[in-house]
A and B are shown apart, each in its own frame.
Chain A
Amino acid sequence: MIDIVRVSKEYRFGRESFFALANISVKIEDGEYVAILGPSGSGKSTLMHLIGGLDRPTDGDLIVDNENLSELNDGELAEFRNKKVGFIFQSFNLIPNTSLYDNVSLPLVYSKHKLPDEKEKIRGLIDSVGLSHKTRNKPSQLSGGEQQRVAIARSLINDPQIILADEPTGNLDSKNGTEVMRILENLNKKGKTVIIVTHDQELAKETDRIIKLRDGKII
């Protein structure tokens, strides 16, 4: 479960300060399919970064899977990102000049414990996103849709409960976009908490619940 309690994120620029998130409280249960909807500058990406442990709130508590992220040190936060969440970005964010296989297995490099059936798991995931014939290809040799499917496979390698997707279809044509949404929906059906961050109302409507943000507040 994700429990966001009176969370604020303040950015300071010299004497000026700006609240990207202002005193937000919201709960997301395990297995929910949620969209965080808002225009650019609404604070939706900031919220995603906080939930994913990429950033810390200025104020308030963020409890994810019974852990208060505000209390974790940098190393523990890195381990949290490694184990508990999977990120999917608008621009895919694969590592260039590195094979599809190595991109999918990247989080394992930073895992403390070795998986017993590592190779099978990587191949299984690549297979599940329909790319088993391109294991050795570099990202530059893949289409946008294929790259996003690699990113999805990578996000699942450590079997996290939460999938955070930031405009996952933003850089894709509608056919590939639909395909990616279908995969995310299936992941949700298998019990994952899937959170999609978007400015696209139509896309948000495909989820079960919409959290609307504007000027750092939930509306």
Chain B
Amino acid sequence: MKLLISSVVIALKSIAGNKLRNSLTVLGIVLGVFTISTLLSLAFGVREEVTKQIEDLGSNLIAVVPGKLNASGGGFNPSASLGASTLTEKDFDSIEQQLPEIKNLSMAMLVSGTVKVSDKVSSSSLIFAASEKILPNLNTSIESGRFFDNVEIEENSKVVVLGSKVKEMLFVSDNALGKELEIRGHKFQVIGILKSKETSSTLFGPNLDDLVIMPITTGWKITDTKQIFRMMMHSPTTEQADEYKSKVKDIILTNHGGEEDFSVVTQEEILGVVGDILDILTAMIGAIATLSLVIGGLGVMNIMLVSISERTREIGIRKAVGANNAHIMVQFLVEAIVLSFIGGLIGSSLSGIVAVVVSTLSPIKLVFSPFVVLVSIGFSVLVGVIFGVAPALSAARKDPIKAIRSE
């Protein structure tokens, strides 16, 4: 303990004795730690944002998608949902009849194509055909006008509801309600505009402002295919999500003659998948940032070697009065660790300030948690140990007589 305290004191003295040189070395670590903790804060910020968006949809959301997402050998197979759907209107009706307590039961299909108003064309919009209760499942609602009703669905009415961005693109600031537009050669009447979701450009779902929604029956008619690419609903309560997931699965399984050519997923499972993807992202960012810290570590190693060669005589004196190799080793290792620890402290403080500033001034949220601080400073200490060992060993192995005679 006495040795450790005295090593820290010696280290601080030696660092203070060469302020410029050591400041430059510390700067290398500062930059490395700053990069690590800022990127980590960013990764955590993205994770929080995405998680929040998914949770906004309601944790009792249940979705039925075509194809078996869980590959038989274990693992996740998203391409399974891309083929022609095996879900039918009968599946929808069966759920409606057997589980009347389920909320917002709806179905949807994708209609590819462009949306035209005279000479203006919106090609980036996502054309959806859906049943009347789709909106709560997308976590959005009507801003002006109205959504289509049951009658319009039954009559294959050519009406559409537009996302705010599509509306702006095709009609600019004019009132779009009652106006006509063209999709795949058919004239449609605009009956409603969706609320703008502004920032919530969902990373893992359609941008709701780009949506064009028509009745599902109309979609079936103009494409001449009776596809259902997704069914969505909410279980009566959050706790019952899993219970209803298996009920829904059993109903469709019966309809499909026991063949599991579809998947029923809950919000929680989607969160799990997204979490896995974000974990990989975080790890990658961490690896890149670590590289910059390694470069800082090389700086520490360099300065330690210089410092040791300048203090060879001191090492000799210490050995003459009774220091053994381990004592000398600890002294210089502590010095390397103190150097990088100071860098880590400054780097993560700077990163904390940047996180606060960026989060206040921009929509990007940086989450600067104690975990981030711990990881960053932990890494800097680790760098001190790794890059300090070799110089410390060379110091410890010096021959006392040669060392004491050196100038």
Pair B401/A154 contact, Cβ less than 8 Å: no
Residues on B with C-beta less than 8 A from A106 are 317-318, 321
Q: A54-B400, A97-B17 are in contact. Are A110 and B323 (CB under 8 A)?
A: yes
Pair B401/A74 contact, Cβ less than 8 Å: no
How many residues of A are in contact with the other chain, CB < 8 A? 28
Pair B322/A111 contact, Cβ less than 8 Å: yes
> Does chain A have a CB within 8 A of B404?
yes
Taken residue by residue from 110 to 137, chain A's Cβ proximity to chain B (1 for < 8 Å, 0 otherwise) reads as 1100100000000000000000000000
Q: How distant is the Cα of A120 from the Cα of B3 in the complex, in angstroms?
A: 20
> Does chain B have a CB within 8 A of A19?
no
> Does chain A have a CB within 8 A of B327?
yes
Rounded to whole Å, the gap between the CB of B318 and the closest CB of chain A is 7
Given contacts A54-B401, A93-B316, A154-B321, 4 further A-B contacts (CB under 8 A): A52-B320, A93-B313, A93-B404, A98-B13
> Does chain B have a CB within 8 A of A142?
no
Closest residue to A55 on the B side, CB-wise?
Answer: B401
Q: How distant is the Cα of A108 from the Cα of B325 in the complex, in angstroms?
A: 16
Pair B321/A110 contact, Cβ less than 8 Å: yes
Pair A114/B321 contact, Cβ less than 8 Å: no
Closest residue to B314 on the A side, CB-wise?
Answer: A95
Offer 20 A-B interface pairs, CB within 8 angstroms, sorted by A. A49-B401, A54-B320, A55-B401, A74-B324, A75-B325, A78-B325, A89-B404, A93-B313, A95-B318, A106-B317, A107-B321, A108-B2, A109-B3, A109-B6, A109-B323, A110-B323, A110-B327, A111-B322, A114-B2, A154-B321
Rounded to whole Å, the gap between the CB of B69 and the closest CB of chain A is 64
Interface residues of A in 8-66 (CB under 8 A from B): 49, 52, 54-55
> Does chain B have a CB within 8 A of A79?
yes
Closest residue to B10 on the A side, CB-wise?
Answer: A98
Residues on B with C-beta less than 8 A from A158 are 322
> Does chain A have a CB within 8 A of B319?
yes
Rounded to whole Å, the gap between the CB of A56 and the closest CB of chain B is 11
Pair A87/B314 contact, Cβ less than 8 Å: no
Residues of chain B touching chain A, judged by Cβ–Cβ distance below 8 Å, are 2-3, 6, 13, 17, 313-314, 316-327, 400-401, 404
Pair B314/A82 contact, Cβ less than 8 Å: no
Rounded to whole Å, the gap between the CB of A191 and the closest CB of chain B is 21
Pair A79/B321 contact, Cβ less than 8 Å: no
> Does chain B have a CB within 8 A of A149?
no
Pair A82/B401 contact, Cβ less than 8 Å: no
> Does chain B have a CB within 8 A of A192?
no
> Does chain B have a CB within 8 A of A81?
yes
Q: How distant is the Cα of A81 from the Cα of B316 in the complex, in angstroms?
A: 12
Closest residue to A84 on the B side, CB-wise?
Answer: B322
Q: How distant is the Cα of A79 from the Cα of B323 in the complex, in angstroms?
A: 8
> Does chain B have a CB within 8 A of A199?
no
Pair B314/A96 contact, Cβ less than 8 Å: yes
Residues on B with C-beta less than 8 A from A79 are 322, 324
Q: How distant is the Cα of A167 from the Cα of B48 in the complex, in angstroms?
A: 73
Of A75, A93, A96, most buried by chain B (CB within 10 Å of CB) is A93
> Which of B313, B321, B325, B327 is close to A87, meaning CB atoms less than 8 Å apart?
B321
Rounded to whole Å, the gap between the CB of B162 and the closest CB of chain A is 76
Pair A97/B324 contact, Cβ less than 8 Å: no
Closest residue to B325 on the A side, CB-wise?
Answer: A74
Q: How distant is the Cα of A97 from the Cα of B311 in the complex, in angstroms?
A: 12
Residues on A with C-beta less than 8 A from B326 are 75
Pair B324/A78 contact, Cβ less than 8 Å: yes
Residues on B with C-beta less than 8 A from A111 are 322
Pair A95/B324 contact, Cβ less than 8 Å: no
Closest residue to B7 on the A side, CB-wise?
Answer: A109
Q: How distant is the Cα of A216 from the Cα of B316 in the complex, in angstroms?
A: 24
> Which of A52, A78, A95, A97 is close to B317, meaning CB atoms less than 8 Å apart?
A95
Pair A75/B314 contact, Cβ less than 8 Å: no
Q: How distant is the Cα of A154 from the Cα of B318 in the complex, in angstroms?
A: 12
Of A49, A75, A78, A111, most buried by chain B (CB within 10 Å of CB) is A78
Q: How distant is the Cα of A96 from the Cα of B13 in the complex, in angstroms?
A: 11
Rounded to whole Å, the gap between the CB of A54 and the closest CB of chain B is 5
Residues on A with C-beta less than 8 A from B327 are 78, 109-110
Residues on A with C-beta less than 8 A from B3 are 109-110
> Which of B320, B322, B325 is close to A93, meaning CB atoms less than 8 Å apart?
B320
Residues on B with C-beta less than 8 A from A114 are 2
Q: A93-B313, A98-B13, A109-B2 are in contact. Are A78 and B322 (CB under 8 A)?
A: yes
Pair A110/B317 contact, Cβ less than 8 Å: no
Residues on B with C-beta less than 8 A from A107 are 321-322
Q: How distant is the Cα of A94 from the Cα of B324 in the complex, in angstroms?
A: 18
Closest residue to A164 on the B side, CB-wise?
Answer: B320
Pair B322/A110 contact, Cβ less than 8 Å: yes
Q: How distant is the Cα of A93 from the Cα of B178 in the complex, in angstroms?
A: 97
